[in-house]
Structure 1
Amino acid sequence: MSARNRSIRLSDRLRGLLRLLLIGLVVVIVATSGDSRLSQVERIEQRGSLIMLTVNGASTYFLGAEGETGYEYELALDFAESLGVALEVNTVPTVADLIPALRSGKGDFIAANLTRVPERQSSLRFGPVYEEVRQVVVYRRGSARPASLDDMTDGRLVLLEGSSFEALLADHPADLSWETLPRASIEDIFDGISNEEIDYTIIDSNILELNRRFFPAIRPAFELGEPQPLAWATRRSNDDSLVQQMHRHFAHASESGRLAEIRHRHYDHVEAYEPVGTFTFMRQMRERLPPLRHHFEEAAERYDLDWRLLAAVGYQESHWNPNAVSRTGVRGVMMLTQRTARQLGVENRQDPEQSIMGGARYLRSMIDRVPERIDYPDRLWLALAAYNVGYGHLEDARRLTEGLGGNPDRWLDVRDHLPLLTQERYYSQTRFGYARGYEPVHFVENIRTFFEILLWMEGREHPLLAGVPSGIETE
């Protein structure tokens, strides 16, 4: 056999071996990566987790006092539980980053107040509509309120990068201009409006609703276009299994009332929001909170509470005024009655340290009396209602709630029935009788608002709160 023939046979043998190696490698890859024929939902189930893509924000996802929270987050958590998997959250810096992150496989779906508009439907597959929002022009309090786009030609209009709002400006006046700020959040834009650096922006009504507490200088001017639907989105492909599961889940959540429950939890307490109240709150934060903060921190540490929650209670009770006296004789920062103060060992109700420590001890006692089966945050809201109206009246309201078909362990249900304690046909059935049941409702909802403002400000190192000294040293 010639050397040339031996060389040809050797080359054939090498090619055969390489072919076998490649086939083996493909088999290994398929075996380790899962069956490519699995649907998206089956792959999620195999992985054991559902990955949500979102942005940080009050209406989407953030870290609250009790951990991860947010309207979109709770909706997604409920969906993940219905699939029997864990929820993972992947946040991106801006709305503009959401679709590229989805395309690159960094998440299974987008849940971030995304409006279902035609320009997005070419690249995304949307799930069911779970809410409709309006697009609102926002301006600064104290400046001239625009009535139309024609009134905005002399001002600076800034839009959120990656939003769908530019499409609303198709018929804009010729001399109207706008810009986007790269990597800016809606909070950055609202802050710019508050500080007179920006004149206008456009935002969805639900985001404005949640953020007005934190930026009391912003105001709605007028609406643009028609209401737009909100929906989750997945990659557009031939596999619609995840979207089909979304349709089934939201249909069940709507029918069972679960969808309304989650929305109420995040939006109900801000519907009666009054911006003037936040201006006063922030002024008192600067003027009255500094000498009291270390007392709130010490009391919170002793009774295992959040100092910002105690501070919110103190503001609701007295506007942080140690010398406050009500028409009924309750006194001090925490507005303790003489009887309650005596039970708590508070000798001087107008001494800030004694009042705050006594109030913290009293709130802890209310929390401890609420049945252990009730989880947070319902446990806390019920305890705050008891702090205001008395534990006996709270129990009366809970019994009325149960008797009328509600859930006595849910704050939302009890909240709706507390006002019945003002009506004779209801309070005559109770042990403790008449009570001004509207007061604990307003009390709790106001505290929730003040608490969330303090959480928001401290989490962002807001200069107004950062300037309030802490009396507790950290190692």
Structure 2
Amino acid sequence: MQGVDLRLISYVLVALLVGTCSSPPPLLDQVLHLGELRVVTRNAPTTYYIGQEGPAGPEFDLVQDFADELGVELRIDTVDSVAEVMPYLLSGKAHMAAAGLSVTDSRRRFADFGHPYNTVDVHLVYRLGTVRPREIQDIIGRKVEVVANSSHSDLMASLEAAYPDIEWAENADLEVRDLLEKVALGEIDLTIADSTAFNIQRHFYPDLRVALDLELDDPLAWAYRKDDGHSLLARADEFLIGAQRSGRLAQVNDRYYGHAEKFDYVGTRAFIRHFESRLPRFRPLFEQAAAETGTDWRLLAAIGYQESHWRSKAVSPTGVRGIMMLTQATADYLDIDDRQDPESSIVGGARYFARQSERLPDEIGEPDRTWLALASYNVGFNHVKDARQIVEWQGGDPNTWVDVSKALPLLARKKWYSLVDYGYARGWEPVLYVNNIRRYYNIIRWLTETESNEDSLDGDTNTFEVAQSDSSPESAAADEETLQ
């Protein structure tokens, strides 16, 4: 049967089965016959997006694992808003919906829900500096806006039934992240957000605060058409229960929602203690890698501290390893066999950083070149390129870190990431990442300045100069605050 498309044959077989039987085969059988699991979701940080190494997101990770377990290909179809998920599913274009859906009575009328794979708290959110509602009655007279046709609109309807004086509006054009921005800017007083979305958005809207928890442990689950029976639902439930028992669910949640800890500043005393106890073992390797790549060894050491706190056996929940926390893809690119070997990791990280710097346009000077290369090391070169495009659209200078650092967080907002080539990115992370490394670098310079009269390196494309009036840890931290 050379030249025949086997998938086409599968489609024909399923069509024949549907046409010749009084009722279609179970949905699970259809998926297995077709060799494809069709899933509808949303392009959002809490569901699915294109990351540095391809498709990512908590929903994507789980449905990809499920498809792999079934031995079928995964096809992701995205819609623009949560309001479009259920109509798309009910049209029969998808076998299931995995879109961060709360299990509500209104949705149960049209769809069946499987085993909850996560729970969220539902927050009423306000802006610091405004009056905090401390009970439901305090919402009366305030401007409240929620996403249309969502579980949050159902919740507001129920609150209005109990408190008729409450006034609120639905917005069919914006998602939760956009409404949180409106609260932060003072355009509306209050909105409702699940804890997962709130925890992500507060990274670049620090004035957002939780006024009230309207619901606790609200279940999220995958949805299926009622007419399709329970064969696929039951098989998915088996998978999710197994993932819960094996710790896979916890791993996925930690990967996407546990990132705040990654950027906690350690105190100066702890850093100096690690400088004295951990760095001496690895310093010759940083100096060796610096000589090979033309990079300041102190910068490489600062990267290593940010990544692993100078621990050679460090492993993150996402699988990156070693002092420089290299991904498997990066290690393969650099021809590194053992990511936890200190020399391989440090030399590999130095080469990878140098490669990011080389990829930047020649007209970018120092120190901006170094900061942009660090951001690329963290979030990926293509996302930095997207941020530079946004800076151009805004009339800024895409060759300066100060402008690009303002644009990077916009990659987490739909109005911007939908316009660029590589889509959504957790753009606040590289900004914090670069600022942390700048702080660590300044402290290392202060701790090592008695070894050399040279405060900084000039002239090399991979070195940079940091102006500083006082080379103390305290002034380094103060300088860092001005870079935020």
- For the pair 1:83 / 2:53, whether they are aligned, the reply is no
Using the TM superposition, give the Cα deviation of residue 80 of structure 1 relative to its aligned residue in structure 2, in angstroms. Answer: 0.8
Residue 258 to residue 200, structure 1, CA distance change in 2 (3 Å) = same
Using the TM superposition, give the Cα deviation of residue 154 of structure 1 relative to its aligned residue in structure 2, in angstroms. Answer: 3.1
Using the TM superposition, give the Cα deviation of residue 35 of structure 1 relative to its aligned residue in structure 2, in angstroms. Answer: 1.0
Asked if the contact 1:213/1:453 (under 8 Å) is kept, the reply is no
Q: Secondary structure at the match of 2:205?
A: coil
Q: Which residue of 2 aligns with 1:198?
A: 188
Q: Which residue of 2 aligns with 1:186?
A: 176
Q: Which residue of 1 aligns with 2:234?
A: 244
Q: Which structure 2 residues correspond to residues 309-348 of structure 1 after superposition, within 5 A?
A: 327=272, 339=284, 342-345=287-290
Q: Which residue of 1 aligns with 2:324?
A: 383
Q: Which residue of 2 aligns with 1:97?
A: 84
For residues 189 and 230 of structure 2, the distance between their equivalents in structure 1, rounded to whole angstroms, comes to 43
Please identify the structure whose Cα radius of gyration is greater: 1
For residues 136 and 392 of structure 2, the distance between their equivalents in structure 1, rounded to whole angstroms, comes to 34
Of 30, 37, 49, which residue of structure 2 is paired with 1:62? 49
Q: Which structure 2 residues correspond to residues 220-259 of structure 1 after superposition, within 5 A?
A: 220-237=210-227, 239-259=229-249
Q: Which residue of 2 aligns with 1:33?
A: 15
Q: Which residue of 1 aligns with 2:159?
A: 171
For residues 392 and 188 of structure 2, the distance between their equivalents in structure 1, rounded to whole angstroms, comes to 21
TM-score (ref. length: structure 2): 0.57
TM-score (ref. length: structure 1): 0.58
Q: Secondary structure at the match of 1:35?
A: helix
Using the TM superposition, give the Cα deviation of residue 92 of structure 1 relative to its aligned residue in structure 2, in angstroms. Answer: 0.3
Residue 90 to residue 174, structure 1, CA distance change in 2 (3 Å) = same
Amino acid at match of 1:213: H
- For the pair 1:113 / 2:100, whether they are aligned, the reply is yes
Q: Secondary structure at the match of 1:82?
A: helix
- For the pair 1:129 / 2:116, whether they are aligned, the reply is yes
Residue 163 to residue 458, structure 1, CA distance change in 2 (3 Å) = farther
Q: Which structure 2 residues correspond to residues 5-16 of structure 1 after superposition, within 5 A?
A: none
For residues 323 and 300 of structure 2, the distance between their equivalents in structure 1, rounded to whole angstroms, comes to 21
Residue 382 to residue 221, structure 1, CA distance change in 2 (3 Å) = farther
Q: Which residue of 2 aligns with 1:470?
A: 399
Asked if the contact 2:143/2:190 (under 8 Å) is kept, the reply is yes
Residue 104 to residue 382, structure 1, CA distance change in 2 (3 Å) = farther
For residues 210 and 455 of structure 1, the distance between their equivalents in structure 2, rounded to whole angstroms, comes to 22
Asked if the contact 1:158/1:200 (under 8 Å) is kept, the reply is yes
% identical aligned pairs:
26
193-202 or 217-226, larger mean C-alpha shift: 217-226
139-148 or 73-82, larger mean C-alpha shift: 139-148
Asked if the contact 1:64/1:455 (under 8 Å) is kept, the reply is no
Residue 199 to residue 363, structure 1, CA distance change in 2 (3 Å) = closer
Cα displacement string for residues 8-44 of structure 1 (whole angstroms, at most 9, x for unaligned residues): xxxxxxxxxxxxxxxxxxxxx9768341132211221
Q: Which residue of 2 aligns with 1:72?
A: 59
Amino acid at match of 1:49: E
Count of aligned positions: 332
Residue 178 to residue 235, structure 1, CA distance change in 2 (3 Å) = same
For residues 98 and 291 of structure 2, the distance between their equivalents in structure 1, rounded to whole angstroms, comes to 50
- For the pair 1:217 / 2:207, whether they are aligned, the reply is yes
Cα displacement string for residues 80-116 of structure 1 (whole angstroms, at most 9, x for unaligned residues): 1111111111110100000111112221111111111
Asked if the contact 1:344/1:362 (under 8 Å) is kept, the reply is no
For residues 322 and 170 of structure 2, the distance between their equivalents in structure 1, rounded to whole angstroms, comes to 40
For residues 257 and 338 of structure 1, the distance between their equivalents in structure 2, rounded to whole angstroms, comes to 37
Asked if the contact 1:50/1:108 (under 8 Å) is kept, the reply is yes
For residues 240 and 149 of structure 2, the distance between their equivalents in structure 1, rounded to whole angstroms, comes to 27
Using the TM superposition, give the Cα deviation of residue 174 of structure 1 relative to its aligned residue in structure 2, in angstroms. Answer: 3.1
List runs of 5+ in structure 2 lacking aligned partners.
Answer: 1-10, 19-23, 328-337, 343-373, 402-484
- For the pair 1:146 / 2:146, whether they are aligned, the reply is no
